[in-house]
Amino acid sequence: MLRSCTAGLRSIWALRGRREGAPRLSMDLQPARRLFSTEKVIHKDWALPNPSWSKDLKLLFDQFMKKCEDGSWERLPSYKRRSTQESEDFKTYFLDPKLVEEAQLFTRGFEDGLGFEYVIFKNNDEKRTVCLFQGGPYLQGVPGLLHGGAMATMIDIALGSCTGGAVMTANLNINFKRPVPLCSVVVINSQLDKLEGRKLFLSCNVRSVDEKTLYSEATGLFIKLDPEKSST
């Protein structure tokens, strides 16, 4: 099944190539096409400002970068693809080496500003993280509002950032209290509440920049992975 999907994608791109008469690829298309070449992928850190970031997002980013100066907080980098070490941690979960090479992190597959723009800061002593998130126009649900699934995705990532190491989500329980306007900035405060063996119990809330609006509250149960066992 996995191979047929990969083959399907190749046939689509091959078809497009023929239709367009072997064109020179635009800059924006290169990342997708490059996946089938042997060229090395440059691991760009996506958790840094770009011109699509709003004034609010840039301001909050600068405030947290200041907090990082004394070492109490750290900014977590974010890549489209896993590092060699991470891939090694997850090796028993690899299903098809070709597919893993082509795949990329769900939240980093959009062009700047259109999808998930976010950065996570971690306070290791306090076992908590703060995620600054701006959801772009390609994340729409109800017109003018962020899709509930996009919010759930960011909550999953924010909670996961509190765990450290290789984990998988076992439960997500999300209360959507107010809808999030598309392109607004929200702040997700997450914390580790309890650790029981390989089980991590976490919680978070999603608020507006001025903290006056509570958009969502959620709890999560995550399980630390055992690299010796395959779960599929």
**Which residues are catalytic, by number?**
156
Distance, CA of 52 to CA of 58 (rounded, Å):
10
CA distances from 48 to 44, 45, 168 (A): 10, 7, 25
184 binds its own copies per the rule CB under 8 A? yes
Task: Kindly state the smallest distance separating residue 146's Cβ from its own copies, in Å.
Answer: 8
Q: Which of residues 18-57 bind its own copies (CB under 8 A)?
A: 19-20, 23, 25-29, 32, 50-56
What one-character-per-residue DSSP string does 57-79 give? HHHHHHHHHHHHTTTS-EEEP--
Residue closest to 191 by CA, chosen among 209, 218, 214, 152: 218
153 binds its own copies per the rule CB under 8 A? yes
Residue 163 tokens, joined? 């765990």
Q: Which is nearer to its own copies, 73 or 115 (CB)?
A: 115
Residue closest to 57 by CA, chosen among 118, 129, 103, 107: 118
Task: Kindly state the smallest distance separating residue 69's Cβ from its own copies, in Å.
Answer: 27
Distance, CA of 146 to CA of 160 (rounded, Å):
21
Which of the ranges 11-19, 60-68, 125-133, 187-195 carries the binding residues for its own copies, by CB under 8 A?
A: 11-19
Task: Indicate the burial class of 77 (C-beta count within 10 angstroms; 0-12, 13-18, 19 or more).
Answer: middle
Q: Which of residues 96-125 bind its own copies (CB under 8 A)?
A: 96, 99-100, 102-107, 109-115
Task: Kindly state the smallest distance separating residue 193's Cβ from its own copies, in Å.
Answer: 17
Q: Which is nearer to its own copies, 5 or 195 (CB)?
A: 5
166 binds its own copies per the rule CB under 8 A? yes
Q: Which of residues 193-212 bind its own copies (CB under 8 A)?
A: none
Interface residue with its own copies among 90, 123, 201, 224 (CB under 8 A) is: 90
150 binds its own copies per the rule CB under 8 A? yes
Q: Which is nearer to its own copies, 32 or 68 (CB)?
A: 32
Contacts of 18 (CB under 8 A, 6+ apart): none
**Quick check: helix, strand or coil at residue 53?**
coil
